[in-house]
């Protein structure tokens, strides 16, 4: 294939996660839309990528790989084997493959693309509002590659390097946990509505309280316990609520939920098909 135009970053897949990352890169000024290429199988997917994101949209991963050295693998995990087996996508030493496919281990990815460098990232869907939390494992990548990964994922939130063996824990702690926060917000808002607030006011107040509490944790340098103490005055309103949560085993229940996600992630990684070659 003739060498195509060079782009700074190529996205293999142009779905929800790729779109969120692309928006972040553009909004934060890391790249211009004109420096990004993506692919989707369907005409509708390509049309959406070029209309909504302004990026070049191609029909195959091979064309994206011919057009960019830095590749973000953003297809569903179940579609990954077909890319490298049925479609025969092969990468070269110039390529850095940054995979966000959940549950596909770095060594599995490395055996698909033995000649290129691989980094595995677990982002979460809050990157759509530039408040994502991503953990990444460096695979066989070098420091320069990790700077690129940091740049891409810091544009949409927080990026933290972890060991490959900790990626399942990242999946539970930040990949899945936004869903738990939404359930928490629902519980808070329902009580607000029962006490007379409108659904809209209750949800907005609950949501902003989650945002604010997250920022307090990130920026105050205080532990969760210390922050709870800061909010509770003895005999006050918050202390009553905290007592009710403790009586219901709230923290243990939340830990059980995260643990269930981690265990499911381990199961999925183990059952991810090993490459044939
Ligand atoms: N969603 C989350 O919260 C989240 C969090 C962490 C990680 N992830 C990971 O992010 C990845 C993407 O998830 P998503 O929710 O963005 O999926 P999605 O919306 O279904 O997007 C998948 C994209 O890949 C394209 N695609 C699939 N096979 C292809 C192929 N052979 N050649 C070219 N393009 C192909 C699809 O094109 P068509 O639509 O045209 O078929 C679509 O544009 C997954 O691996 C998931 O594990 C997701």
- Sequence spans of domains, the chain: 7-166, 177-266
With the most atoms of ligand 1 within 8 angstroms of its CB, the residue from 37, 41, 82 to mutate is 41
Measuring from atom 3 of ligand 1, which residue has the nearest CA?
125
Q: How far is the CA of 244 from the centre of ligand 1 (A)?
A: 41
The answer to whether residue 3 scores a pLDDT higher than 90 is: no
3-state secondary structure of 271: helix
Q: Per-residue confidence at 1, pLDDT binned at 50, 70, 90?
A: very low
Q: How remote is the CA of residue 76 from the centroid of ligand 1, in Å?
A: 4
Residue-level pLDDT at 44: 98
3-class DSSP state for residue 46?
helix
Percent of residues, the chain, with pLDDT higher than 70 = 96
At residue 270, the pLDDT reads 82
The domain 177-266 is classified under which CATH number: 3.40.50.970, 1.20.120.1200, 1.10.3730.10, 3.30.420.10?
Answer: 1.10.3730.10
Which of the four pLDDT bands, split at 50, 70 and 90, describes residue 242? Answer: very high
Give the domain 7-166 fold: Rossmann fold (3.40.50)
Q: What is the mean pLDDT of the chain?
A: 94
pLDDT, residue 2, reads 45
Specify the residue with its C-alpha closest to ligand 1, atom 9: 101
pTM to 2 decimal places = 0.91
Whether residue 168 contacts residue 258, with contact meaning beta carbons closer than 8 Å, is answered with no
Whether pLDDT at 12 is above 70? yes
**What digits encode the pLDDT tens for the residues 79-116?**
999 999 999 999 999 999 999 999 899 999 999 999 99
DSSP 208: H
Round to whole Å and give the CA distance between 206 and 101: 31
């Amino acid at each position: 294939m003739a060498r195509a135009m060079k782009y700074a970053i190529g996205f293999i897949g142009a779905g929800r996660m790729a779109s969120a990352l692309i928006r972040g890169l553009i909004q934060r000024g890391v790249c211009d839309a004109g420096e990004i290429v993506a692919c989707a199988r369907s005409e509708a997917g390509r049309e959406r990528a070029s209309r909504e994101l302004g990026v070049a949209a191609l029909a195959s991963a091979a064309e994206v790989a011919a057009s960019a050295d830095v590749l973000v693998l953003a297809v569903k995990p179940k579609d990954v084997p077909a890319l490298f087996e049925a479609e025969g996508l092969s990468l070269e030493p110039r390529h850095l493959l940054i995979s966000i496919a959940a549950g596909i281990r770095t060594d599995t990815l490395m055996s698909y693309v033995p000649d290129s460098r691989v980094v595995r990232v677990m982002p979460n869907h809050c990157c759509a509002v530039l408040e994502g939390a991503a953990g990444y494992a460096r695979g066989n990548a070098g420091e320069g590659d990790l700077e690129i990964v940091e740049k891409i994922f810091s544009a949409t939130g927080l990026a933290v390097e972890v060991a490959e063996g900790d990626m399942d824990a990242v999946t539970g702690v930040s990949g899945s946990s936004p869903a738990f926060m939404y359930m928490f917000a629902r519980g808070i808002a329902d009580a607000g509505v029962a006490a007379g607030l409108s659904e809209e006011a209750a949800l907005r107040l609950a949501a902003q309280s989650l945002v604010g509490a997250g920022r307090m944790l990130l920026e105050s340098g205080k532990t969760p316990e210390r922050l709870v103490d800061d909010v509770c005055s003895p005999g006050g309103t918050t202390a009553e609520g905290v007592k009710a949560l403790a009586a219901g085993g709230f923290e243990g229940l939340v830990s059980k939920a995260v643990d269930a996600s981690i265990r499911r992630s381990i199961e999925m990684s183990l059952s991810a098909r090993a490459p044939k070659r």
